[in-house]
Amino acid sequence: MIEVINLSHTYPGAGRPAVKDISFTIPKGEIFGFLGPSGAGKSTVQNLLIKLLPLQKGEIKYNGKGLKDLGRDFFNRIGVSFEHPNLYLKLTGLENLKYFAGLFQGETEDPVKLLERVGLGEAKDKAAAEYSKGMKQRLVFARALLNKPEILFLDEPTSGLDPATAESIKEIIKERQRAGTTIFLTTHNMYLADDLCHKVAFLNNGEILALDIPRNLKMKYGNKSVKIEYRSNGHLQGELLFPENEKDRARIGELLASGQIETIHSQEATLEQIFIKLTGRGLV
């Protein structure tokens, strides 16, 4: 379990905190998502969690043990995939993974199999400098899995990937979660968060505005609607109606009674729509 209690952080010379008094808990084996636009404080929180930034104010605990009390073994238990790939560009993809595997104590994954799993098998002997942005992103993701981590920190893991490759990466993330890995995901991609996360936190200007499972957020902040398509005088027509509105409920009953309905779909607000509703700004 990861516990974050009243965490705040201010960069030197900054006019305001990058992270302001946030708290959350991540149970073992769950995927927790930080959803917010660039500059919201997502990466700052991740860097505090993995000890890349010094703890200024608040507490971070892993299974009840304070972050300051964790020794070097902590880094053998975590895997990190950064948004901006940091690689040894003169080394091949395979050489990169072999080098990093040598830094860990304990058993590591077969680097060749990892590269094949993320679609880089044929490029394993190519210098990382020759990789495209998406290939570099996949290599960094594979590197995060090398040491069979108990906790994965993923910062925009599908950024720059084509839809098919992004789906493959998402499936690997789900597999790791099912195997018991705890995953901390930072993203501005609401579809990714909705698909993967057990809970999400909306982060804006360093503060958590809402935190819950995606469905609860949609039920609480979204407007439930029904899209109905029906035939009228031989023409297909459609209406978007809101059951909470008395007039719309009557219209739904009228259409049902007509027997002309061809399709009817319930709709819910997306996480992005809810974020805009709460903040007045988008996720980009």
pLDDT the model gives residue 46? 93
% the chain with pLDDT above 90: 61
271: part of which helix (H) or strand (E)? helix 271-279
* Long-range contacts at 219-223 (CB < 8 A, ≥ 24 apart): 219/268, 221/269, 221/274, 221/277, 221/278, 222/268, 222/269, 222/273, 222/274, 223/269
Q: Please give the pLDDT value at position 29.
A: 96
Q: Hey, which bits of 78-177 come out as E strands?
A: 78-81, 151-155
Question: How confident is the model at residue 68, as a pLDDT?
Answer: 87
Question: How many Å apart are CA 41 and CA 62, to the nearest integer?
Answer: 21
Q: Which residues make beta-bridge pairs with 81?
A: 154
The CATH class that applies to domain 2-219 reads: alpha beta
What integer is the mean pLDDT of 241-270?
84
The 3-class secondary structure across 202-216, one letter per residue, is: EEECCEEEEEECHHH
| Joined tokens for residue 41 | 């404080």
145-182 pLDDT, tens digit each: 999 999 999 998 998 888 999 999 999 999 999 999 99
Measure the CA–CA gap between 188 and 100, rounded to whole angstroms: 28
For the chain, give percent helix, strand, coil, nearest 5: 35, 30, 35
Contact (CB, 8 A) for 7 and 48: yes
Mean predicted lDDT score pLDDT of the chain: 90
For the cut 80, the answer to whether the pLDDT of residue 279 exceeds it is no
pTM for this one? 0.83
Q: Which strands make up the sheet holding 19-26, listed edge to edge?
A: 19-26, 2-9, 57-62, 65-66
* Domain boundaries defined on the chain: 2-219, 223-267
pLDDT in the model for residue 38: 80
Average pLDDT over residues 198-204: 93
Model confidence over 1-36: pLDDT tens digits?
999 999 999 999 888 999 999 999 999 999 999 988
> For 210-239, what is each residue's pLDDT tens digit?
999 998 988 887 767 788 999 888 889 888
